[in-house]
Amino acid sequence: MSIKFRLTIMSFLQFFVWGSWLITIGNYWFSTKGWDGGKFGVIFSTMGIASLFMPALMGMVADRWVNAEKLYGFLHILSGVSLCLIPQINDPSQFFWGILLAMIFYMPTIALANSIAYTGLKNNRFDVVIDFPPIRVFGTIGFIAAMWTTNLSGNKASANQFYIAAIASFILGLYSFTLPACPPLGKQTSKKSWSQVLGFDALHLFKDKKMALFFIFSMFLGAALQLTNAYGDVFLGEFSKVPEYANSFVVKRSTIIMSISQFSETAFILAIPFFLRRFGIKNVMLISMLAWVFRFGLFAYGDPSPVGVSLIILSCIVYGMAFDFFNVSGSLFVETSTTPDIRSSAQGIFMMMTNGVGAVAGSTISGFIIQEYYTAADGKTKDWHGIWMAFAIYALIVAILFAVFFKHKHEVSEVVAVRH
């Protein structure tokens, strides 16, 4: 079995675990449990809270003490155990802690999966820029497969979605131990300070102005990344309250509609090598930010009518560019800008800023703003047009600031350097 095929299986299962519940948890929260909407945004902050410290911490461990693939396997097994416990929770406050525990084990595996893939490809003399995107695209396919499995099996609002995720996590955890060894490279240097031993030397990247700005904008984009995950399926589901749309396909199969976003990802991931070589990393990330403007703006005018559905579908297509062009290109930027001994730690910091600091701020602030300014007096009816337009304006401001302040000259050699 080739290394690329083995890494493809890893990528598929990595995102199958997440896709089994991430988009449908809102239906479980509101429809099945009937819990308060004001507390829902806090649930999505668990991913951010876990990403504040776990990806960077586990990256340090992988750089110094434990093979990355073994650490990856242990974390997925623990994630599976945590997911099995979630359906037993019947209190929204306790539910927060249950999801947080699962995220503490899951979130660092995303950065570790990138490190494992890059190491495996480089050790076998593959071109990371060319060969990583086709592997990563199967992560998106795994996410789609999980969404469809959950929806078509009738578990869109059921606790079974967490069991589906747990089974996939257990399988991936065991499979990880069969992957090629990724030993710690950071321990090969003889004399080190305590900060180097603990992996804090990766934090020195913040002293570099370009890297610091990159991480800051990663935080700003991270605030936007989870908004459609948190509210997209709920937004479509709430059209059931409109009599003329109550039995529409958009309402009944909202998760299928949302999965168009992931289908779009598969195309844009494969297009990343072309865009990187043609436009450079900065412009690719800027394109991502502008795509977020259209993602939210199109949602603002979407509904289950023929014209409205076309806008929703177009928004889902744009999502692929918005998500991939920053996440994958950002990961490659970190890969080209760091040395091997701190690479896992640096990927962890990137994860911390996007899915950690940014996601916590985004989910917490957006939850407050939606409840205070875009929710009617009954506490349930939401002004979705206003919500999505506010998000679109935010993304536009971030894009303008990034274009002005992030200075990075496109060099072809920069992209070629990822191979070595």
pLDDT in tens, 53-98: 787 788 778 878 899 999 999 999 999 999 999 999 999 889 999 9
177 vs 221, which has greater pLDDT?
177
- Is the pTM value of this prediction over 0.85? no
In DSSP terms, 382 is beta-bridged to 375
Tens of pLDDT along 91-122? 988 999 999 999 999 999 998 998 899 889 98
* Cα–Cα distance, 341 to 47 (Å, whole number): 27
Please determine, looking at this structure, whether the domain spanning 3-182+202-419 carries the CATH number 1.20.1250.20: yes
Predicted pLDDT of residue 417: 46
Average pLDDT of 24-32? 84
